[in-house]
Amino acid sequence: MKGDSFDMILEISQEYLKNEMKKVNAHPASFNIFKDKSMIIPLKLFDIPTPGANIIKQEMLSSGGDAVVHKNAVDCNVETSDIILLGTKKHYNILMEKLQKMPYFKLDKACCELKKFFSTEKTNFIKSPWGRTLSFDKTRVMGIINVTSDSFYSGSRKQSIQEILDTARDMIQSGADVVDIGGMSTRPGSDPISEEDEAKRVVMAIKAIRENYHDIMISVDTYRSNVAEKALEAGADIINDVSGFSFDQKLVEVAAKSNAPYILMHIKGTPKNMQENPTYDDLIKEIAQYFIDKINYAISFNMDENNIILDPGLGFGKTYKDNMEIMDRVRELQSLHRPLLIAASRKSFIGKALDLKSADDRLEGTLAITALCAYQDVDMVRVHDVKENVRIIEMVEAIKCRR
């Protein structure tokens, strides 16, 4: 016997809100209005003078939202306070309208940052200097080919032309969107090789792949400007830099001049010392600030900020706890409105989580992270095992399409 419907309440997920409004037979013109009202967006502002923090809290309360401030802000016993704003788009619009009339206590600056946050749209594609494009309409897959003998995962090491071409063919046939070529290991504790040797390795691999596969995007994994320049000349499309311009000051000039997409990775230290007790006071805040500072630095060299892809650098100056926190807070990094790449494939933090010492045994853990990334609309994953990761993404995308 069919039960009475009035005795049931369901919480509707944001992803299915529009579908459910259709079932209620609401007017289509109201969908976006109700959607904006349905979602509280927690935003955090930093180091606001205490009087300004109190003003923001009162204005949010008066609009129907709220704000979390320091416990001693109310009587101004602290100089500044971080603020967590809790409101819908409607509440924020009201707040911004009021703050723009208040040029004091950093309120005008807070208003500008809020306006920038709500008006900025993430670029939905990248275009290489050679004209090849890649859209971010789903999670894309970057396959790893290391032209080295010492990368941490032996399965990625390919040194002969035939090995490189066979691997590239298999990756492309399995659905890789980008093939990433590295000529020098940056595993924890590794020493750099000569620039000449690195360039020779990557140029050989890039030329071979490009001659056989004209359409595939190729990235070069290097932090050296001369290597990047030679790789681009050989047919590479993307610069993948683990250093964030830190190890070679000329690399930013190469990226700007070539107009090549650039993967900006967060790192603390160097590959040689980065895992020697890395510490953070506020992990996500510090990574985000690093990205903002580096993006502004790149813009100062006339680099197109829409060409920049962010990589939080799992395993590069991070503890096990740090890596797990980054994966659990990916959405916060997406609020920077830049394409995001996650490179977790077979790394040691997966081994620690699953008690697996060998990188050979970490495929399933990698696939779990890829599934999480696909579900959360991460733009790209960098992986060793293309076929398996592509299938995981396709399955997640098939579920998401039901929305």
Query: Which residues are catalytic, by number?
Result: 347, 382
**Structural contact between residues 49 and 83, judged by C-beta atoms closer than 8 angstroms:** no
Q: Which of 235, 176, 171, 168 is nearest to 206 (CA)?
A: 235
State the CB neighbour count (10 A cutoff) for residue 27: 9
Torsion over CA of 192, 365, 176 and 401, rounded to 10 degrees?
A: -140
Tokens coding 372: 């999480």
Residue reference for tokens 């723009």: 100
67, burial (CB in 10 Å: exposed 0-12, middle 13-18, buried 19+): buried
Q: Give the DSSP letter of residue 282.
A: S
Contacts by 114-117, CB closer than 8 A, 24 or more apart: 114/43, 117/43, 117/335, 117/337
**Structural contact between residues 187 and 152, judged by C-beta atoms closer than 8 angstroms:** yes
Q: Give the DSSP letter of residue 283.
A: H
